[in-house]
Amino acid sequence: MTQELFTINNLWMMVATILVFIMHLGFASLEAGLTRAKNTVNILFKNTITPAIGILCYAFVGFNLMYPGSDFAGQFFGFAGFGLNLPEGWDSSNYNAGYTFYTDFIFQAMFAATAATIVSGAVAERMKLGVFILFSFIYVGLCYPIVGMWQWGGGFLKTMETPFYDFAGSTIVHSVGGWAALAGAFLLGPRLGKYTPTGMKAIPGHSIPMATIGVFLLWFGWFGFNGGSVLTANPGTVSLVFVTTAIAGSAGAFGALIASYLKFKTYDITMVLNGILAGLVGITAGADQMGVGEAAIIGLIGGTLVVFAVVFFDKIKIDDPVGA
């Protein structure tokens, strides 16, 4: 590979890292908008401290736990030691054919921090700040990198006879964050007054414009989330991933629009916003493998399912203020 091509690939990875970082502002805006005004500062504080915790934890523990580079690979966990250490005999520029060691770390660190941010919306308005900070340290330092190692670090999912495939993290990032969010919402219980003897009482968010801005920021960042996961600036693959990402998000919006209108006989903007995110989450696992038609079907299914998922969780009295 020529030095010019290496520089282009590395530069694209860094641009994608910036796009994923912007997603934290999207999560902050979405979660603040869909919760009550009195909790805005708490929500913003959580979404501000989470990327800081994520980057630090991933630097000192998570990165080496997720990519052990040792005989632990293929098992359930591995660890290459503390700190952000280059492999022996390497420097940052010869670490990989497409990007430097530090570019690899910072791109992966953004994913780790994003996984923790998913949880903050589901536990909004009930979890004390100090407890959430402690959770974030444990989640980013241990939980996420261990699961990530199972696939991206050469673990058992990667080495199965029929290998598991997750291009950019539908399961490794979003599903793991979703399961943690579900556990948190279940353990904390619903907000006071949400479920009454006479039925469910809606607790609407205070700023739909802020929530809408948040979703557009997330959609914007998703082009880096998926596009950067190509791990090169290969024009054919990156452009395909951009298209499938855009198509799935758009189809998710329509899936949620149709399903929510048929279900509630009204146009619900919050369902459409979550439908966009559901379509994006759905395509993330195979954004480099799908065509336009497949991406549209995946997005449509995701956007439809999210409507019924919101209804289902309310029915079993699990309170998720943002539909995480």
Rounded Cα distance between 267 and 264, Å, is 8
Looking at residue 61, what is its pLDDT? Answer: 87
Helix axis angle, 144-151 to 101-122, nearest 10°: 120
The residue to which tokens 């908008």 are assigned? 33
pTM given for the model: 0.93
Res 79: pLDDT:
53
Residue 239's identity, in one-letter code, is S
Q: Which long-range contacts (CB under 8 A, 24 or more apart) does 96-101 make?
A: 97/1, 97/6, 98/1, 98/6, 98/9, 98/10, 98/13, 98/231, 98/232, 99/6, 99/9, 99/10, 99/13, 99/231, 100/10
Q: What is the mean pLDDT of each run of 10 residues along the chain (324 residues)?
A: 86 97 97 96 96 92 80 51 62 76 92 91 93 94 91 88 92 94 95 90 95 98 98 96 98 98 96 98 98 98 97 95 92
pLDDT at res. 115:
87
pLDDT value for 116: 87
